[in-house]
């Protein structure tokens, strides 16, 4: 990195150990969010935090890799908070709210998000993969809480996990396209993607069918799901070709 992305702090501020630790992680997070990990050095972090390089090493003896993992762990906790939306209203609206927050996170952590999920990154290890996987599990768990499913069977589990992977892939494509489509459009499509995958799964699995019928009962007439079904039928109908 040629220049620091934020102006160096004018003077060294005395912070408590906890505060300094948090400040270094927050600084690292900001840098990793906007630059690929290989372009961020420990010197960059020290400079942006307004401290010396030895001080950074005192907090993170494992150097850049340790700092990266700490920043990732902190981002993972932020991300998990995205999924905690109030348990009220139609499920499709709750999912849309969680996706809004998730896409805002993706938007602001673009570079780091891409490097992490694309694979082959210099900082990727079994530990970073485990952190990412724990976020996926938390996301799946949160969806199950909203659907009031305590023990998902293999079909519902697979539908949910593959949808979460599809959300990640869609986010990467969105970033790759320089976010040309509005986040709200992507969000709406991802909600419909979820409903569609659950619907075909419901055709094969009683638990998914029961869960989906319960969810359907919460959807208002003319709401997201109704609109989706109408639009899809209209697009597929013979008269649509005219």
x-marked contacts with a second copy along 151-190 as a string, rule CB under 8 A = ---xx-xx--xxxxxx-xxx--x---x--xx------xx-
Query: For residues 166 and 183, which CB has a smaller minimum distance to a second copy in the complex?
Result: 166
Number of helices (H), then strands (E), belonging to the chain: the values are 11, 0
Question: Within 209-238, which residues bind a second copy (CB under 8 A)?
Answer: 209-210, 212-213, 216, 228, 231-232, 234-236, 238
From residue 13 to residue 52, the character string flagging contacts with a second copy as x (rule: CB under 8 A) and all else as - is ----------------------------------------
Q: Which is nearer to a second copy, 80 or 124 (CB)?
A: 124
Judged by CB under 8 A, which of 175, 197, 218, 223 binds a second copy? 197
Please report how close the Cβ of residue 165 comes to a second copy at its closest, in angstroms: 4
Binding of a second copy at residue 137 (CB under 8 A)? no
Among 29, 92, 128, 142, which residue interacts with a second copy (rule: CB under 8 A)?
128
**Minimum gap (Å) between residue 144 Cβ and a second copy:** 16
For residue 169, what are its two tokens?
């892939």
Which residue from 82, 52, 80, 64 is spatially nearest to 28, judged by alpha carbons? 64
Q: CA nearest 63: which of 78, 77, 50, 44?
A: 44
Separation of alpha carbons 128 and 112, rounded Å: 12
Alpha carbons 156 and 87: distance in angstroms, whole number: 20
Question: What mask, x for binding a second copy by CB under 8 A, covers residues 84 to 123?
Answer: ----------------------------------xxx---
SS3 120: coil
* Residue 40 to residue 130: CA distance in whole angstroms: 22
Beta carbon of residue 15, minimum distance to a second copy (angstroms, whole number) = 33
Query: Where does residue 87 rank: exposed (0-12), middle (13-18), buried (19+ CB within 10 A)?
Result: exposed
43: CB partners within 8 A, 6+ apart = 53
**Angle at Cα 103 formed by Cα 99 and Cα 109, nearest 5°?**
145
Write out the two tokens for 228: 């989706």
Binding site for a second copy (CB under 8 A): 118-120, 124-130, 132, 154-155, 157-158, 161-166, 168-170, 173, 177, 180-181, 188-189, 192-193, 195-197, 199-204, 208-210, 212-213, 216, 228, 231-232, 234-236, 238, 240-241
């Amino acid at each position: 990195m040629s220049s620091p992305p934020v102006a160096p702090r004018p003077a060294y501020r005395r912070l408590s150990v906890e505060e300094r630790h948090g400040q270094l992680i927050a600084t690292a997070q900001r840098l990793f969010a906007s630059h690929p990990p290989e372009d961020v050095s420990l010197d960059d972090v020290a400079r942006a935090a307004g401290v010396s390089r030895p001080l950074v090493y005192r907090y993170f003896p494992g150097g850049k890799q340790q700092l990266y993992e700490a920043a990732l762990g902190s981002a993972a906790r932020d991300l998990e908070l995205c999924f905690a939306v109030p348990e009220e209203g139609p499920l499709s609206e709750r999912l849309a709210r969680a996706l809004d927050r998730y896409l805002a996170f993706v938007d602001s952590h673009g570079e780091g998000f891409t490097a992490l999920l694309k694979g082959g990154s210099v900082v990727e290890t079994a530990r970073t993969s485990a952190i990412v996987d724990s976020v996926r599990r938390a996301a799946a768990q949160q969806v199950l809480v909203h659907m009031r499913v305590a023990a998902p069977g293999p079909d519902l589990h697979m539908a949910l996990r593959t949808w979460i992977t599809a959300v990640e892939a869609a986010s990467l494509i969105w970033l790759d396209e320089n976010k040309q489509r509005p986040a709200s459009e992507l969000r709406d499509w991802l909600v419909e993607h979820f409903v569609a995958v659950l619907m075909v799964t419901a055709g094969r699995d009683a638990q998914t069918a029961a869960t989906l019928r319960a969810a359907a009962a919460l959807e208002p007439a003319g709401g997201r799901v109704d609109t989706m079904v109408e639009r899809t039928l209209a697009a597929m109908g013979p008269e649509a070709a005219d």
